[in-house]
Amino acid sequence: MKTHGNKRDAFTLVEMLVAVAILMVILVVLLEVSARVGALWKSSAGRVTSFQSARAAFDAVTRSISQATLNTYFDYVDKDGNYRDPANPSNFSPTGFRRASELHFLSGSAAALTGNSPALSPGHAIFFQAPLDLTQDSALEIVPGLLNATGFFIAYAPASATGLLPSWLSSKFGNEYQFQLRHVIQPTEENQIYETRDGWGWVADLVDPSKTTPGTLADNIVLLVIRPRLSPQDEIVMGPQLGTGSFDDSQRGSILCPNYSYNSRAWQTDASFPLTVTGANRMEAMRNQIAPIVDLAMVAIDPQSLERLDMKSATPPEVLTPDAGAFTDSAKLDEDLLAFEEKLSAAKIRFRTFRTSVPVQSSKWSNSF
């Protein structure tokens, strides 16, 4: 721009074009920054919401397990350790007392207990009775401490199958699949446990959708690990009795359930039972007892990490499932969990792992059997 006395010449065309070009560059930079900030905020908000739901679900599982009960008492047994029952009233000859219970505490492979494949129900499941006060009978609502059969496991299922959505919204999800942390619970008046004292049919009823409607605590939960165990002091005492020899740190957490399987009725179940408790002494140690501590681990993934994966297949992506043989040796819990986390990280799947040790309030563990 040129100045002559009191007169000022206008901007030249070149100066105007330069100014406009600089302004456009500034606007493009600002828009790019705004877009990146918006995407970052959206991604962070999604992760926070997703992991908040996972945290709430983890707390619900923890709280329920801590309330598990067997309501044990002592009853007569004969010389073979059999209790009185309707089949032997005339020839039953009592010789002593043993712990007895009509209730059941059971945990182990989710695939075995639910009848699904390991890919569709990864990790473990747990089923038990607890005073959760759920009833659909108004006459029972005033009764405190109502007993319910309940359980938790993971299922890979259509997104529309989640209990978190109303039916009109479920249809909008099309044919996408997702991992769901399932919670099954029977109202008190439908509890079948007293009709199947010598078996595990109550679990089959609990996971049967035609008999019990499963609820979904949280979506995108890809792993649930459950390890019942003894206190460190009891592990040292019980090790030799359970056939593990002298105790060392490599066995920590695995003395009671070396293959993660726990069954308070292991001493009486037949070969058709889906979980194997190793060793006769271990079966007797579990007889009508709940482990005093349950180690719990859960892995939740960020749903935005799944956008590049094929979630429309009825078979889950391999990267989201533990390797074959993982989580079958309870002494390797930390090792297997780290391997699974590294597998997710290598695939750039964002995740969060939740872990805790749950003291079971009603457990009065005894090392004698």
b/e map 269-283, b = 16+ CB within 10 Å: beeebbbebeeeebb
Amino acid at 51: F
Cβ partners under 8 Å of residue 38, min gap 6 = none
What pLDDT, on the 0 to 100 scale, is given for residue 201? 82
pLDDT at 123: 96
pLDDT at 164: 47
Q: Is 3 exposed, middle or buried (0-12, 13-18, 19+ CB in 10 A)?
A: exposed
Q: Which of 244, 230, 249, 269 is nearest to 367 (CA)?
A: 230
pLDDT at 272: 67
Q: How far is Cα 330 from Cα 336, in angstroms, rounded to an integer?
A: 9
Asked if 182 and 155 count as a contact pair (C-beta separation under 8 A), the reply is yes
Q: Are 205 and 211 in contact (CB under 8 A)?
A: yes
Q: What is the pLDDT along the chain (369 residues), one digit of tens a residue?
A: 555 555 556 678 787 788 888 888 888 888 887 777 666 655 555 555 668 999 999 999 999 999 999 999 998 888 887 887 766 667 788 888 888 998 999 999 999 999 999 999 999 999 999 999 988 888 888 888 899 999 999 999 988 765 545 554 455 545 689 999 999 999 998 888 877 656 788 888 888 887 777 889 999 999 999 999 999 999 988 888 887 667 777 788 999 999 999 999 988 866 668 888 988 899 999 999 999 999 999 999 998 888 888 888 899 999 999 999 999 999 999 999 999 999 999 999 999 999 999 999 999 999 887
313 token code pair: 């297949």
- CA-CA distance, 317 to 243, in Å (whole number)? 40
